[in-house]
Chains A and B, each alone.
Chain A
Amino acid sequence: SQTIHQWPATLVQPVGSPLSLECTVEGTSNPNLYWYRQAAGRGLQLLFYSVGIGQISSEVPQNLSASRPQDRQFILSSKKLLLSDSGFYLCAWKLGGVSEQYFGPGTRLTVT
């Protein structure tokens, strides 16, 4: 069966520091991968998606970036965090041609 992992689970970082969140998927090949951000009490905002290695599409202009160095690895990065980057970051995967996405456990990021 497929599983999706995210780490770290929680992170507290000062403003201006770099960020690297990692997401890996097991048990499937060539998944579509997604990064979402969820503010407290709000819905999910799509940040990036990837349909293959090295292929990244950005949905929202921001100081975040994403990379997909391997088929089942998706990384969210920032060179300098802002207070507004605080939130719950969720990685998701799906297979091509189907609608449903499956989410990881999330990373709670607090920028101080």
Chain B
Amino acid sequence: GESVGLHLPTLSVQEGDNSIINCAYSNSASDYFIWYKQESGKGPQFIIDIRSNMDKRQGQRVTVLLNKTVKHLSLQIAATQPGDSAVYFCAESRRGGSNYKLTFGKGTLLTVNP
């Protein structure tokens, strides 16, 4: 079936280090892949997305890499800060008519140690 899953449920890093959060997907028909950050008790916050025809996209301190051969997605956070501590979700977006539907993975908890 269709699924978006994560390799690791938790990740702990030192402040200033780079973080890499991984995600595996199974549906090759996805149009976009999106990363969200969710802090405790809050709604998810959009971080960055990447179209399925791209391999890499960079934002402010974040980079998303897409490897379609192995159906793998990663989010790299440079110089991780305590404020980056949160649960990170990957999601795949597929278009159905005029609507894009998101399928979310289970999430990775990132803890940044000072």
Point out residues on A near B: beta carbons under 8 Å.
32, 41-46, 49, 51, 57, 90, 92, 94, 96-106, 108
Q: Does B34 lie within 8 Å of A44, measured CB to CB?
A: no
Q: Please, could you name 9 A-B residue pairs with CB atoms under 8 Å apart, sorted by A?
A: A42-B106, A43-B105, A99-B100, A100-B32, A100-B46, A100-B49, A103-B36, A103-B43, A108-B41
Q: Does B43 lie within 8 Å of A101, measured CB to CB?
A: no
Q: Does B46 lie within 8 Å of A32, measured CB to CB?
A: no
For the complex with contacts A43-B107, A98-B100, A99-B32, 8 further pairs of A-B residues with Cβ separation under 8 Å are A43-B105, A46-B103, A49-B101, A92-B43, A99-B34, A100-B32, A105-B42, A106-B41
Q: Does A46 lie within 8 Å of B102, measured CB to CB?
A: yes
Q: Does B44 lie within 8 Å of A103, measured CB to CB?
A: yes
Q: Does A51 lie within 8 Å of B99, measured CB to CB?
A: yes
With contacts A42-B106, A43-B106, A99-B93 taken as known, whether A106 is within 8 angstroms of B42 at the C-beta atoms is yes
Q: Does B104 lie within 8 Å of A99, measured CB to CB?
A: no
By beta carbon, the residue of chain A nearest B100 is A99
Cα-based distance from A96 to B100 in the complex (angstroms): 8
With contacts A32-B99, A51-B99 taken as known, whether A103 is within 8 angstroms of B45 at the C-beta atoms is yes
Q: Does A96 lie within 8 Å of B98, measured CB to CB?
A: yes
Q: Does B25 contact A (CB under 8 A)?
A: no
Cα-based distance from A44 to B4 in the complex (angstroms): 12
Interface string of B12-38 (1 = CB under 8 A from A): 000000000000000000011010100
Residue numbers in B under 8 Å from A99 (CB-CB):
31-32, 34, 49, 93, 100
